[in-house]
Copies of this chain bind each other. A is one copy, B any other.
Amino acid sequence: MAGDKGPRRAPQEAVRAVREDIIRGVFAPGERLTEDALAARYGVSRVPVREALRVLEAEGFVEAKPYVGVFVRELSEAEAEDLLELRSVIEPMCAARAARNRTPEQLGRLKELVSLGWDAVRDGRLEEVPRLNSRFHEVIAEASGSEVLGQMIRQLSQKIAWVYAVGLTLRAEDSWREHEEILAALSAGDADRASALLGQHILRATTAYRRRVRTEAGDPIG
């Protein structure tokens, strides 16, 4: 079906696709995902889909019950806060390393992302912002030079994007202004400043998230 040009590697793409669909809200929390439906959706067999679902289970996006099926996980407000707090301690650590190890190529990608983020915010394409946000933080993780750390941050970042996207998108302008400052510190190789800025950045994001959740409802994030 949709296998227009997908040449010879389906499962890795399937993971990305399903994960993005979950983050974008195409699949709602609690929803059951049937292997057949996903297979048809992506024009592949059930085997790659199964592998993708197992990966997503390991990453914490879905929950699988044996002989029953997989369901999109529902994040409680408490868990969302845990994610944010977790990031608030990990990211500064990561930023300090990134300021020392970042390559010019990575700086270039960060600059491009900041530019794209600004454009998206300015043009009101808010649905693209969480994804760009994730990628900004993922590149920083990559720039830290630690494969292990990078993988952790990557997963964490994607889940944060999910938390935000499930609710709404806001605080976009401030966020990207702060991204710009972080980029400057990284560019200058100033580890302390990069670490401090990122800590501040996460703190503000957390505060904004809490305020929004409080005012909107007391419900689970879903």
Q: Is the CB of B78 within 8 A of A86?
A: no
Q: Is A178 an interface residue (CB 8 A)?
A: no
A88-123 CB mask vs B (1 if < 8 Å, else 0) is 011001000000000000000000000000000000
Q: Is A28 an interface residue (CB 8 A)?
A: no
Q: Which residues of B contact A59 (CB under 8 A)?
A: 58
Q: How many residues belonging to A are interface residues under a CB distance threshold of 8 Å?
A: 33
Q: Is A11 an interface residue (CB 8 A)?
A: yes
Q: Is the CB of B152 within 8 A of A75?
A: no
Q: Is the CB of B152 within 8 A of A86?
A: yes
Q: Is A137 an interface residue (CB 8 A)?
A: no
Contacts of A63-90 to chain B: CB distance below 8 A: 66, 73, 75, 78-79, 82-83, 85-86, 89-90
Q: Which residues of B contact A90 (CB under 8 A)?
A: 86, 89-90
Q: Is the CB of B83 within 8 A of A148?
A: yes
Contacts of A46-69 to chain B: CB distance below 8 A: 47, 50-51, 54-55, 57-60, 66
- Give chain B nearest CB distance to A87 CB in angstroms: 11
Q: Is A149 an interface residue (CB 8 A)?
A: yes
User: Complex Cα distance A135/B220, Å?
Assistant: 30
User: Complex Cα distance A73/B150, Å?
Assistant: 15
A139-182 CB mask vs B (1 if < 8 Å, else 0) is 00000011111011000100100000000000000000000000
Q: What are 26 inter-chain pairs, A to B, with CB distance below 8 A?
A: A9-B66, A47-B47, A50-B51, A51-B54, A54-B55, A55-B55, A55-B57, A58-B58, A58-B59, A73-B147, A75-B148, A78-B145, A79-B146, A79-B148, A79-B149, A82-B146, A82-B148, A82-B149, A85-B93, A86-B93, A86-B148, A86-B149, A89-B89, A89-B93, A90-B90, A152-B156
Q: A58-B59, A60-B148 are in contact. List 13 more A-B contacts (CB 8 A).
A: A12-B66, A47-B47, A47-B50, A50-B51, A51-B51, A51-B54, A54-B54, A60-B147, A78-B145, A85-B93, A86-B148, A86-B149, A90-B90
